A and B are shown apart, each in its own frame.
Chain A
Amino acid sequence: MNKRLLRSFLAVLMGLMITVSVLGAMSARAALSYVVDETGSLTQEQIKELDARLAEQSASNQCDIVFVMVNSLNGVPVETAADTYYDNNVGYGAANSGIVLYISLGDGEYAFSTGGYAYSVFSDYECNEIASQVVPYLQSSDYYTAVKTFGDGADYYLQHAGQDQTGAAVEKKHNPIWAPIAALVGAIAGWIGTGGQKAALKSVHQQQGAQNYVRQGSFQVTDAREQYLYSQVTRTRRQTEQPNRPTNSRPSGGGGGGVHGGTSGKF
C-alpha cells in the first residue's frame, strides 16, 4: 500500500515538474521580442506587425530570427554586442538556434550573430547576401523594409538549407579519398586476418632468458635505493580550442559561452 502511494506521489511530482518546465519554456519563448528598436525609428504598429512576422518565420523554421536596433555601441565592438545579445536573449530549441542582425544607427555598423543550426546555414556568403539587400534600406532610413528584407532573407536561406544558391538541391559528391582508404584498411584487415593463421605455422623460437631455470625463492634484492639528481621544468602556452568552420570567418565564443558565426560591416 505504502509503495503504491509512493509511486503515485512520485508520478504526480514528476508530472508537475514537467508541466512547470514546459510552462517556463513557453513563457520564456513568449517573452522574446523578435524586433527590438531602442532608437524609436519604428512606430509601435510597425514593431507589432514586424514582430509577428519574424515570430512566424522563426516558428516555421524552428530558428529565432531577431532584429535589434540601438543608438550606440558605447565602445563595444559590434560583433561582441551582437553575440552578447544572442547569448542573453536568443536561441530556439535545445540547439539554441538563431540569427540576430544587430544594428547601431549612431555608429553606422551592423553585425550578424548566428548560433546552433543557423551557424551551419549562414556562412559568410549568406550573411553578405542578406546584408547587401538590407544595407540600402538602412542607408535610406527605411527601417521597416530593412526588417522585412532581413526576415525574408533569413527565412529564404533557412527554407533552402542544403540547396545551392540557384535553389537546386546541392549534389552531395562522394569524396574520392574513400577509395584508397578502403583499399588500405582492406589490405591491413587482410594481413591481420591471415596473420594468425600464418603465425600458427611457426613454433620454433629462441628462448629469451632462462626464467624457467631460476631456483625458486632465490631472488633477493639486498640493495634498493633512489637518489634524486635534478629537475627540469618546461612550460607551454595554454590554448582554448574553438570549433573551426572554414566558410564562417567569425566563429567566436559569446559572453554566455555560445559559439557564434556571422559577418559585420558598416553602412
Chain B
Amino acid sequence: MAGLLQYKCPCCGGAIEWNSTLQKMKCPYCDTEFDLATLQAYDQELATDSPDSMEWQQEPGSEWTEGEASGLRVYVCKSCGGEIVGDANTAATSCPYCGNPVMMMGNFSGHLKPDYIIPFQLDKEAAKKALKAHLADKKLLPAVFKDENHIDEIKGLYVPFWVFDADADARMRYKATRVRSWHDAQWNYTETSYFQVIRGGNLSFDHVPVDGASKLEDTLMESIEPFDFSRAVPFQTAYLAGYLADKYDVDKDVTVNRANERIKQSTQRSFDQTVQGYASVMNDYSSIQLRNGVAKYVLYPVWLLNTTWEGNKYTFAMNGQTGKFVGDLPMDKKLYWKKWGMIAGITAAAIYGISWLIQLL
C-alpha cells in the first residue's frame, strides 16, 4: 500500500492540506494557497537534492631519483625549526622565516619530488625596489621602521604549493521575489510574488593553489596570488641554484579543504550572478560535484623578508613571477591620533561655526 503523500509549504514549511472550497492546496499555518501543479513541481525539484561531492583523484608528486637527492642539502634553523632545501652549492646563511643566522646543514631525504616549478622571473634588485615602493607614501608608518629594515636580507624562496584542477558540476536553487506596487484613493498595495529559481551547469578550475608550508601564513601566500601556471616547467633541481626551497609539511589532504572552499565560493558566485531581475534573491540550496579532480605538487617563487619591530614580527612577500608585493605594516599610533584629532577638531569647529552662522541668518 502506498504511503500517505504529504506536501510541505514552501512559505513556512508546514504540512499542506487540500481545501475543497478553494479547490486548491492551502497551508493551515500561514494560509498561503497553492495550485497542486505548483506544489508537485516544487516537490520534484526538492527530490533531486544531493550533497556536495568533492573527491580528488591521482596522487601528486613523485619519488626522487638517487642522483637528484644527492645534490640537495637540508638546512635546519636552530631557532624556529624551519627546514629548507638548497642545492649543494647554495649556502643558507640565515633562516628565511625568522632571520636566525645559525643554520645546520644535513643531507636531504624523504618527501616527494615536485611535479612543476615556476622559476624566479624577478631578481633580488626588483624585490628590494618593490619593498622600497611598498614602504613609500605610507603616511602612518613609523619613520624609524623604514630605517631599521634589513632590506638586504630579502631572500628568494621556492614555496611548496599544492595546486588543484577540477571540473565542477553545480546545481543551485534560490528563493526570489518580485514586487509590484499600486494604489487607489485610500490604499497603497504591495504584491510580493515568490519564485523558486533553478540554475544548473558547470565550471572548470585550473591550478587553484594552497600553500603547503606551515611556516608561512596561508593569507600571506594568498595575498601574492595569482601565479601564472602557464610559465611552470617540469621540476629540475637545477632551478634551485642560488635559491632556497621549502619542503611541504602540510599534506595535500589537509590543504584540499581550502581548495574546495575556494572552488565552492567561486562556483556559487558565478551562478548567483546569473539570477537577476528580482527584488530579492536568497540561495536556498547548492550542490557541487567535482569531476576529474587532479592535484599537483609545485614550487612557486617568492621573495621573503622577515623583520621584527617593537617585539612584533612582520613578514613581507613578493610574488617572484608577477612582482606583487604584500606585507602588513605597523602604525605610528601617536601620529594616528594626532591626525585624527586635527581632522576631527577642524571639522567639529567648522560645523559648530556654521551652526552659529545659520542661527544668525
Residues in A lying within 8 Å of B, measured CB to CB:
172, 174-175, 178-179, 181-183, 185-187, 189-191, 193-194, 197-198, 200-215, 218-238
Would you call A182 and B352 a contact (CB within 8 A)? yes
Would you call B271 and A221 a contact (CB within 8 A)? yes
Name the CB-closest residue of A to B188.
A236
A197 to chain B, nearest CB (A): 5
Provide the residues of chain B in CB contact with A225, threshold 8 Å.
Answer: 197-198
For residue B15, CB closer than 8 A to chain A, the reply is: no
The number of residues on chain B lying at the interface, defined by a beta carbon within 8 Å of a beta carbon of chain A, is 85
- Once bound together, how far apart are the Cα atoms of A229 and B33, in whole Å? 9
Question: Can you name 16 A-B pairs with beta carbons within 8 Å?
Answer: A185-B351, A186-B351, A190-B341, A193-B340, A194-B336, A194-B340, A197-B336, A201-B329, A209-B262, A213-B209, A221-B199, A221-B271, A224-B274, A229-B11, A230-B10, A238-B186
Would you call A209 and B269 a contact (CB within 8 A)? yes
Name the CB-closest residue of A to B338.
A194
Q: Is the interface of B mostly helix, strand, loop or mixed?
A: mixed
Provide the residues of chain B in CB contact with A201, threshold 8 Å.
Answer: 138, 140-141, 328-331
For residue B343, CB closer than 8 A to chain A, the reply is: yes
A211 to chain B, nearest CB (A): 5
Name the CB-closest residue of A to B340.
A190
Would you call A230 and B33 a contact (CB within 8 A)? yes
For residue B265, CB closer than 8 A to chain A, the reply is: yes
- Once bound together, how far apart are the Cα atoms of A218 and B139, in whole Å? 44
Name the CB-closest residue of A to B278.
A226
In the complex where A201-B141, A210-B208, A215-B204 touch, is A186 in contact with B345 (Cβ < 8 A)?
yes
The answer, among A174, A191, A193, A229, for a CB contact under 8 Å with B195, is: A229
- Once bound together, how far apart are the Cα atoms of A186 and B345, in whole Å? 6
B278 to chain A, nearest CB (A): 9
Would you call B340 and A213 a contact (CB within 8 A)? no
Would you call A227 and B189 a contact (CB within 8 A)? no
The answer, among A179, A226, A229, for a CB contact under 8 Å with B42, is: A229
Which one of B65-73, B111-119, B215-223 is at the A interface?
B215-223
A-contact 0/1 string along B46-74, CB 8 Å cutoff: 00000000000000000000000000000
Provide the residues of chain B in CB contact with A186, threshold 8 Å.
Answer: 343-349, 351
In the complex where A179-B352, A201-B328, A227-B42 touch, is A190 in contact with B186 (Cβ < 8 A)?
no
- Once bound together, how far apart are the Cα atoms of A189 and B171, in whole Å? 46
Provide the residues of chain A in CB contact with B194, threshold 8 Å.
Answer: 228-232
For residue B147, CB closer than 8 A to chain A, the reply is: no
- Once bound together, how far apart are the Cα atoms of A238 and B188, in whole Å? 6
